[in-house]
Structure 1
C-alpha cells in the first residue's frame, strides 16, 4: 500500500475499526496507577505532561488564559481526588497557535526533559493547517521518541471549531480523528476521543457554542468533557 492510498484510507476511517488495538483504558496505565497509590515514604512524584496547542494551554477567549479551568488542571484535580497519597504534577508544554511539526522540533528539550510518567499530545485542531500527511509524520516522531523512553502516550482527538460541522461525515476534524485512531492502534497507545464526545453532544441536538468560549476554544464545560475522556485511563473517578 503506498502513502497516498494510506492517507485516503485514514481520511475515510477505513483503517480503523472497533477491534483495532488502541490501548485498553483499564490496563494501559497500570504501572502509573500502582505508583499513585503508594504512600510516603515509598511514593514519588508523578509527572503528567500535556503537549499541544492553545486548548491544553488554557486559552479561552484569546488572549484570556484560564489555566485552572483547562482540562490539564481538571485532570490533575480529579486524579488527586482519586489518589490522595500521590504527589502529582500537571506540566503543560503547550504553545498557543502551534502545530505538531513545531511541537516535534522542541520535543526533546521542552517535553522529555520533564521525564513524563504519562504524555498527552493534543495538536489535531491546529494540524488542519499542515494537512494529514505532515501531521502524521510529526506525530509519529513524537510517539516514537516517547515510547523509546518507555513513556505511555495518550493522543487526543480534536475538540471543535464551530466553523466545522461535526455531524458532516468526512469533515476535516473527523479525518484527523481517524488518523489519530489509526496511529494509536498501530503503536498500541492510548486515545482520548474528545471529538467523539463533542460530536455526541451535537448529535443530541445541543448547540456546541454552549461549550465554547470562542469558535475554536472550549469553555470550562467543554474542557470538562475533554477531561472526562482522559480520566477513563485513571479508573473510576
Structure 2
C-alpha cells in the first residue's frame, strides 16, 4: 500500500532542474579571492564512492568523488572546491543514516551526494526508502542541496531485467528524486547506455560490483552537469585497468 501510494504521488513529479538547482553553488564557483569561499561537496555512501576497486584495494584518486573534484576545479580555476568522502565500504543506507548528522551535516556541506542502492538490496526497498528519505529531509531542513545517485552495476545481476533488485532500487532512487525535487545522477542508466553502445560491462568494472576508473568516469559524468560541467570530462591520463 505504501509503495503504491508513493508511486501514485510521483505522477507528474520530476527531479530538480539541472540548469537551476545548484545556481547558488555555481555562483560561488565564479567568485575570486578575496570574495570567494570554500564550497563543500560531501559524497556519502558505500564502497563505490569510498574508492574500493578489487577488494581490499582502495584507489581514491580513480574514484568519482576525486574525478568530480578535478573536473570542477579545472573548469573553475579560481574557485575553492573541496570534495569530502564520508563513504564506508559494506555499509547500507540504514547504517549511513545513523551517522548522517554527525559525519555529513556537521561538515556544513553545500551539496551532498547519496549512493547506497548497491548495498541496499540486503535490506529491501521499503527499509531503504525510509533511510533515504530521512537523509533527504535532514539535508533539506539544513538548506543543503542533495543529488541522489542510482547504483553502479553488479555483474551478478541481470542488467536488462527491470524486475532485478538492482533495477528496482534504481527506479526507487529516481522516484525519490522526483518526490523530493532534488538532483538525480542516473549512473545505472549511464552504464546501461554504455553497454548498449557496445562497451562490455567487464571493461567498466574492477571487481564483481566495483567500477574501474572508466566506470567511475561515467558516474562523475552524471553528477558534473549539476555543476554546469558537461561530459565528456577531461582527465589526465591514468590507469583505466581493473
**TM-score under structure 2 normalisation?**
0.91
Deviations 1:41-69 (A, max 9, x none): 00001111000000000000001000000
Task: Answer whether contact 2:72 2:229 (CA < 8 A) is retained.
Answer: no
Could you tell me which residue of structure 1 aligns to residue 35 of structure 2?
42
Could you tell me which residue of structure 2 aligns to residue 5 of structure 1?
4
1:80 matches 2:73:
yes
Task: Answer whether contact 1:93 1:111 (CA < 8 A) is retained.
Answer: yes
- In structure 2, how many angstroms separate the alpha carbons of the residues matched to 1:167 and 1:204? 14
1:22 matches 2:15:
yes
Cα drift, residue 82 of structure 1:
1.1
Could you tell me which residue of structure 1 aligns to residue 90 of structure 2?
97
Could you tell me which residue of structure 1 aligns to residue 117 of structure 2?
124
Task: Answer whether contact 2:9 2:179 (CA < 8 A) is retained.
Answer: no
Cα drift, residue 93 of structure 1:
0.3
Task: Answer whether contact 2:113 2:148 (CA < 8 A) is retained.
Answer: yes
- In structure 2, how many angstroms separate the alpha carbons of the residues matched to 1:16 and 1:171? 21
Task: Answer whether contact 1:166 1:202 (CA < 8 A) is retained.
Answer: no
Deviations 1:48-103 (A, max 9, x none): 10000000000000010000000000000000011111111110000000000000
Could you tell me which residue of structure 1 aligns to residue 137 of structure 2?
144
Could you tell me which residue of structure 1 aligns to residue 55 of structure 2?
62
Could you tell me which residue of structure 2 aligns to residue 186 of structure 1?
179
Task: Answer whether contact 1:21 1:185 (CA < 8 A) is retained.
Answer: yes
Cα drift, residue 173 of structure 1:
1.3
Look up the SS of the partner of 2:121 in the other structure. helix
Instruction: Please list, as runs of the form range in 1=range in 2, the aligned pairs for 1:212-231 lying within 5 A after superposition.
Output: 212-231=205-224
How large is the RMSD of aligned CA atoms in angstroms? 1.5
Deviations 1:109-130 (A, max 9, x none): 1111111110000000000000
| CA distance 1:108–1:236, change in 2 (3 Å) | closer
Task: Answer whether contact 1:155 1:192 (CA < 8 A) is retained.
Answer: yes
- In structure 2, how many angstroms separate the alpha carbons of the residues matched to 1:4 and 1:234? 32
Deviations 1:213-233 (A, max 9, x none): 001000000000000000010
Look up the SS of the partner of 1:218 in the other structure. coil
1:33 matches 2:26:
yes
Cα drift, residue 15 of structure 1:
6.8
Which stretch shifts more, 222-231 or 198-207?
198-207
Q: Which of 124, 133, 141 is equivalent to 2:126?
A: 133
- In structure 2, how many angstroms separate the alpha carbons of the residues matched to 1:4 and 1:117? 31
